[in-house]
Amino acid sequence: MPDRPPTTPIRAPKRAAGPRAWQRMLSGRRLDLLAPSPLDVEIEDVAHGLARVARWNGQTTGEHIFSVAQHSLLVEQIARRIEPAAPRASLLWALLHDGPEYVVGDMISPFKAVIGDSYREVEARLAAAVRLRFGLSPEPDAACLKLVKRADQSAAFLEATRLAGFSLAEATTVFGRPVGAPHDADLTPWPAETAKRRFLDRFAELAV
């Protein structure tokens, strides 16, 4: 019988690779935005990223950006003033309330409204991963949520009127009257490394 030609194994066609959905962090972690794992969240990455993300899309006065890290510290400070007996977990949640933004940036509220549910779903998954990583419930209780929201709005009012060019009337219409806001607070924007270090210091105090 004549020799048969060698057979060539049949290979399944390669599937087209989808777009990359993970980000590599300086720690070496790869955080998957579609299915973020708490194990891939490191506080050094969070602090580094938030210290370099600008609030108000960078439309603020000062030599430096007003970073999300500095904003987070302000929110936690205001939360303590509103509720002096707030549990440590609530204050840590306040400090980390914008945690997802170390990955996705600080998208301004008008743009969030344009994008809609897609952004909110990504943000919610990342927020849950950040909270779980640091021992918090993925969903805060109603009292904690109310406290952080009030503190966040008061911080936004201060930033709007002191840094972002809002009039008092305009800021009151958008953010409401501030509660517990330290009107004597120095909102001079910090250099990124200062914001990162102070964020990490406060985290270490709350995460014990």
pTM metric for this prediction: 0.86
Q: Quote the CA–CA distance of 120 and 64 in Å, as a whole number.
A: 29
* 83: nearest Cα among 150, 10, 176, 1: 150
pLDDT in tens, the chain (208 residues): 445 445 444 443 444 456 788 889 999 999 998 899 999 999 999 999 999 999 999 999 999 999 999 999 999 999 999 999 999 999 999 999 999 999 988 776 667 666 666 778 888 899 999 999 999 998 888 999 999 999 999 999 999 999 999 999 999 999 998 988 888 888 999 999 999 999 999 999 999 7
Q: Tell me which DSSP letter residue 59 carries.
A: -
